[in-house]
Structure 1
Amino acid sequence: MTIWSSTRQTSSQHENNGNGRSRIGSLWIKLMSSIGWYPKGMPEEEKWLILKLDLSILIFGCLSFFTKYLDQQSITNAYVSGMKEELGMYGDQLNYITATFWASYCTFMIPACYFLTHYPANRVLPALEIGWGLSTFGLAWAKNVETLYAMRFFTGLFECCSFTGTIYVIGSWYKPGEIGRRVALFFIASPLGTMFAGYLQAAAYTNLNQVHGLAGWRWLFIVDAIITLAISAFGFFVFPDVPTRKKPRFITSEEHALARKRIEGLVAPPQLQLSRDIFKRVFSRWHWYLFVLQWTLMDQNFLPGSQPFSLYLKAKSDIYSVVQINTIPTIVTAVSIVVALLCGVIADKTGRFWLPAIAVTFPVLVGMILLVAWDVGESGRLAGFILTGFEAACSPLTMGWASVVMAGDAEERAVVTASMNAIGQAITAGTQVVQFPASGAPNFRGGFISVLATTVAQLGTVLAILFLSHREGKHKQNHGDVSSEPEVVVVDRELDKTLEAGR
């Protein structure tokens, strides 16, 4: 909060009231400018505004997304750390519990995002986080599998629009050329949550097991819930609504006016309700079909490095200890974090979301080939699982690309991004039961083959989106559309020259 003090004070006010705070903020802005976080030539007052937006939107957004994946991953960590044995779980019940979560999550996602257009996002999202924090707490006291099903259903319900809701807010405050790196930064909170869950479960198993008569896996859910509820309370104070509504408490009226002016003509303002022709607009354009397809393929390609990796290690308990089973998958997470952030910066710098999206697909292909081959030794199989971590970059790249392509229609952007997440996750909820059944560990050959196929298909979808967004950008430029600004519609000028030469 200290950096959020107004930068429009007089020099004497700076000396008497905020000089230290202003100096910290100035140093931070200089540091971030030196690494290219702010575009060259951006006025100082605009940098201060962006700094405040980053601190409010990204800090809560990242922490919220962190707890979302912390709570999601914990069910797997608990399963491999004693929950299976204590509750008498058998067969593919873990898969069915996961499917219950995703069924709830996907069913309520689009209605929840519609609800978000009617009510302040800075109230809705933190309130929903309280809900999933309480349902996570309920898992700690489960006495049977039925309780797990019920609690995961409610967790899915309350988490349903945390991702798309935050993306919607990011897309409402920033210029399109600023979105890629921020979506990437927001996204890496999910692998961080996954990674932290592994270390937290290892610590709970080692240090809290049987404290007050509770198993270590139960303590994991208790600690998760405490973290989640604390962060949700924080969100009520710092997270903003969209700029067309009430002014956030941490910026001045002048800065609020600047925030609205800087995106005018570049980003369509979010509406308070969906218009009657929204579905006609959505389904008459290519955006919905290809971005939903791309997201669905990406969700399939995520799978091997998550729950299947943990089940693989669990099946080899003669080689790996409980602590190793919880911590080795965090290597995939570390790869995800580095690659996702790097790709987000490249996308913003070049305006070419497709370039890093294609680049990261090839390591995933190599990883899947290793897993399909299988007889590559223990180190080869571990490498195969770890290489799937490169797929993580496709999530922020795809969502950032969609936000930029649809910058001119906020209603379409809300529906399409919600559909991407809902449909992709709904399909994954069903396919993961068939592809990676817990009873099939350690070799999920059918699942590995199918993911190899969807990874190849992902390359084709990226190229199709590139071609159509390029053609759409040229059409808008030729017709003088305001959304044809270079920052809004990704137009690869070198590709344009190549295509012209080919004609």
Structure 2
Amino acid sequence: MVFRRRWQMNLQWNKFTGCFDFISHSRFIPRLRVLPEELQEDGSNIQSDESLSVESHVIHENKKDSENEAEEEHEVSENEEIDGLRTNMPYELRNEAGRRWYKYFDEYEYRMNEEYKKSRKWYEFLYPNHATQTKAERKLLYKLDLVLALYLLVLCWSKSVDTNNYTSAYISHMREDLNMKGNDYIYTSTISNIGAIVFQLPFMYLLPRYPAHIMLPAMDMGWTWFTFACYRAKTLAELRAYRFILNAFGAAYYPVSQYLLGCWYAPDEISSRVCLFFCGQLLGGVTSGLLQARIFRSLDGVHGLAGWRWMFLIDAVAISLPTAIMGFFILPGIPSKCYSLFFTDEEIRIARARNKRNHIKDSVKESELKPLWSKDIWKKVFCTPAFWVLVVFDTCSWNNMTAFSGSYSLWLRSNPNYSIEHANNLSVLPACLGFVYVFICAFGADLFRCKWIFMVFAAIMNTVSCAILIKWDVSSSAKWFAFLTTYFSVSASPCLWSFINDFLRLDPQVKAVTWIAIYSISQSTYAWIPSLAWQTIESPRFKTGYTVSLIFGAIYGLWTFVVLYFYKRNEKKHALGNGIILYDTDKDIEIPQFVHRDMEEKNGYYYLKE
């Protein structure tokens, strides 16, 4: 009897601890999500009885969720590929004969077929819901926006606050406390950028191999620590060392974030989401100035610390640290290797099916990954004309950004009519207007499915702004107009990054290497061009800086048409994958034989025979 009672108590304890293990490890700790069908197909996933007991419970719960959703929604399965064609995919048969010249400006001519375009009403541009016409897909997009896009906005805001705080601190007595003279301001920025450039390169290897929900937060923890360290800088050399290491930890933040967004969103959805990401940067510019003004008034001299030192402390402890910790639990990985705590099995299936529909390949099996030193990878990167076209494009984008030059804040500080607090408050105005400019370009690009026209418009506005500031001796209202429109220089960045993502969607390893290479090359120019163009001794006029920005801005606007040409040429090569079957009776290019042999027409579109 005693033995039996002890056995029952042990059994109950094991059940209790097993339940506790399930709650702690499965519900609150991210893990690689293995779907039930993958367990059945892949024998390598067979586990011991003890480990399988917990996993089977998880699978059972997920299976129940999937079955419940399936009763409400149409089942979404991944399209099967047969000789390059996919079942349940509508194909448009298109004759290229008599193609009009103005079709060159139709950005999505070869990227989407007519069925794809017509399945979305204009007011549904944020949530096109075009692939399956189910609430399940729309729910997935809602979750993605809350889990991925919103978190990246917060993370970008955190980093932008830290970055902009350098300028705010400079005009709030850091210059005097650290005895900064001449061009020390711009040289310190340049040294920081070098740290970011050098330490991006390892991510060419890491990005396709290790999950982003580990890499990004781990890097952010390092960023947090050295933001905290900046408060104790006693000399300029010490500050430069901290800023160098800080930026080294933030090196791959932009390319990794864009890599993630490109793995989850369709081409006509991504500009709006990159816009949310970019708004975090603008929000950081606004927050930094307002916080610095408030801190300078309230905490300057408290416990013997200057106001600008308190800003670095608050940045690290109250903003960066919580954001880094959240990242370990919020970032979902990619659809094919999902670690999300928030997505159901059915939503992961939908995400994978969407990627097949949109011709997006988000990962490669580890056994198929080539060594980083493989000639094939570098040949695909450097011997592709599109790579160099994008390098020029991104380089122009980096070096036409008058908004981040600090010139507006230094102009305010040079005006004796503005106190330090007043200058910090006024410094947020261009960034506030920047929200409007970015929303116009990014949301307009998705609404009208046309990025290039907004990129050209932004470039024109930027050149007008620079031209006024080069002249300088203009009315006060004209000068204020020029400063308040400087953020047009960055407003088209979501469109630029969307272009790059779409160019690189077909090969994940090449995508990782190319993203880092483009970003490193263009950012390396930003490490030395500003040190020549925006020398602090020219403050507050910066005639050289505005001239350089005008030149790069003009090239940026014109180069958009070159990028459009290569983009459309690339998409025409992959038209079949985008659901378009091309032929040209003018050039004696007949309808492909597989159309007659393997396909059947339904409602004006062709489907693979069952």
Aligned ranges 1:127-166 → 2 under 5 Å: 127-166=218-257
Q: Contact between 1:69 and 1:190, CA under 8 Å: does it hold in 2?
A: yes
Q: Contact between 1:335 and 1:390, CA under 8 Å: does it hold in 2?
A: no
Q: What's the CA shift for 1:428?
A: 1.1
Select the residue among 283, 293, 298 that pairs with 1:207.
298
Residue 152 and residue 247 in structure 1: after superposition, are their counterparts in 2 closer, same or farther (change >3 A)? closer
Gap regions ≥5 residues in structure 2: 1-26, 28-60, 73-120, 581-610
AA aligned opposite 1:224? D
Partner of 1:334: 432
Q: What's the CA shift for 1:274?
A: 5.0
Give the distance between the partners of 2:436 and 2:67, measured in 1 at CA: 39
Give the distance between the partners of 1:274 and 1:423, measured in 2 at CA: 23
Residue 465 and residue 190 in structure 1: after superposition, are their counterparts in 2 closer, same or farther (change >3 A)? same
Partner of 1:78: 169
Q: Contact between 2:295 and 2:311, CA under 8 Å: does it hold in 1?
A: yes
Partner of 2:382: 283
Residue 339 and residue 304 in structure 1: after superposition, are their counterparts in 2 closer, same or farther (change >3 A)? closer
Partner of 2:445: 347
Partner of 2:128: 39
Q: Contact between 2:263 and 2:335, CA under 8 Å: does it hold in 1?
A: yes
Aligned ranges 1:358-373 → 2 under 5 Å: 358-373=456-471
* Bigger RCO (CA 8 Å, 6+ sep): 2
Partner of 1:311: 410
Q: What's the CA shift for 1:385?
A: 2.1
1:59-94: CA deviation from partner (whole Å, max 9, x where unpaired):
221111111111111011001001111111111111
Residue 198 and residue 414 in structure 1: after superposition, are their counterparts in 2 closer, same or farther (change >3 A)? same
1:117-175: CA deviation from partner (whole Å, max 9, x where unpaired):
22110011011111111101101111111111111011111001111111111111222
Q: What's the CA shift for 1:349?
A: 2.4
Give the distance between the partners of 1:373 and 1:86, measured in 2 at CA: 34
Q: Contact between 2:203 and 2:516, CA under 8 Å: does it hold in 1?
A: no
Select the residue among 377, 382, 386 that pairs with 2:480.
382
Partner of 1:184: 275
Select the residue among 67, 84, 103 that pairs with 2:194.
103
Q: What's the CA shift for 1:305?
A: 5.0
Partner of 1:498: none
Q: Residue 269 in 1 paired to residue 362 in 2? A: yes
Relative to the length of structure 1, the TM-score reads 0.86
Q: What's the CA shift for 1:108?
A: 1.2
Partner SS state of residue 140, structure 1: helix
Partner of 1:394: 492
Q: What's the CA shift for 1:33?
A: 10
Residue 410 and residue 454 in structure 1: after superposition, are their counterparts in 2 closer, same or farther (change >3 A)? same
Give the distance between the partners of 1:342 and 1:485, measured in 2 at CA: 30
Give the distance between the partners of 1:247 and 1:142, measured in 2 at CA: 39
Partner of 2:92: none
Select the residue among 377, 392, 395 that pairs with 1:293.
392
AA aligned opposite 2:154? L
Relative to the length of structure 2, the TM-score reads 0.72
Q: What's the CA shift for 1:351?
A: 2.3
Q: What's the CA shift for 1:238?
A: 0.8
Partner SS state of residue 334, structure 2: coil
AA aligned opposite 1:72? T
Q: What's the CA shift for 1:8?
A: 5.5
**Identity of matched residues, %:** 28
Q: What's the CA shift for 1:313?
A: 1.9
Give the distance between the partners of 2:66 and 2:299, measured in 1 at CA: 51
Give the distance between the partners of 1:10 and 1:469, measured in 2 at CA: 42
Give the distance between the partners of 1:187 and 1:476, measured in 2 at CA: 30
Residue 33 and residue 348 in structure 1: after superposition, are their counterparts in 2 closer, same or farther (change >3 A)? closer
Higher mean displacement: 136-145 or 280-289: 280-289
Give the distance between the partners of 1:425 and 1:324, measured in 2 at CA: 33
Residue 370 and residue 117 in structure 1: after superposition, are their counterparts in 2 closer, same or farther (change >3 A)? same
Residue 456 and residue 485 in structure 1: after superposition, are their counterparts in 2 closer, same or farther (change >3 A)? farther
Partner of 1:64: 155
Give the distance between the partners of 1:244 and 1:169, measured in 2 at CA: 12
Q: What's the CA shift for 1:112?
A: 2.5
Residue 472 and residue 148 in structure 1: after superposition, are their counterparts in 2 closer, same or farther (change >3 A)? same
Q: How many residues align?
A: 459
Give the distance between the partners of 1:303 and 1:34, measured in 2 at CA: 34
Partner of 1:245: 337
1:295-331: CA deviation from partner (whole Å, max 9, x where unpaired):
1111111135541222222222x12221232232322
Partner SS state of residue 176, structure 1: coil
Select the residue among 215, 231, 236 that pairs with 2:323.
231
Between structure 1 and structure 2, the one with the greater Rg is 2
Aligned ranges 1:85-96 → 2 under 5 Å: 85-96=176-187
Give the distance between the partners of 1:366 and 1:247, measured in 2 at CA: 47
Residue 472 and residue 386 in structure 1: after superposition, are their counterparts in 2 closer, same or farther (change >3 A)? same
Give the distance between the partners of 2:468 and 2:205, measured in 1 at CA: 43
Q: RMSD between aligned alpha carbons?
A: 2.3
Q: Contact between 2:461 and 2:485, CA under 8 Å: does it hold in 1?
A: yes
- Structure ranking higher in helix proportion: 1
Select the residue among 165, 168, 171 that pairs with 2:259.
168
Partner of 2:509: 411
Give the distance between the partners of 1:81 and 1:379, measured in 2 at CA: 27
Q: Contact between 1:292 and 1:416, CA under 8 Å: does it hold in 2?
A: no
Partner SS state of residue 486, structure 2: helix
Partner of 2:116: none
Q: What's the CA shift for 1:110?
A: 2.7
Q: What's the CA shift for 1:247?
A: 3.8
Residue 61 and residue 40 in structure 1: after superposition, are their counterparts in 2 closer, same or farther (change >3 A)? closer
Q: Contact between 2:408 and 2:427, CA under 8 Å: does it hold in 1?
A: yes
Q: Contact between 2:489 and 2:553, CA under 8 Å: does it hold in 1?
A: no
AA aligned opposite 1:228? S
Partner SS state of residue 182, structure 2: coil
Select the residue among 23, 29, 52 that pairs with 2:143.
52
Give the distance between the partners of 1:96 and 1:244, measured in 2 at CA: 43
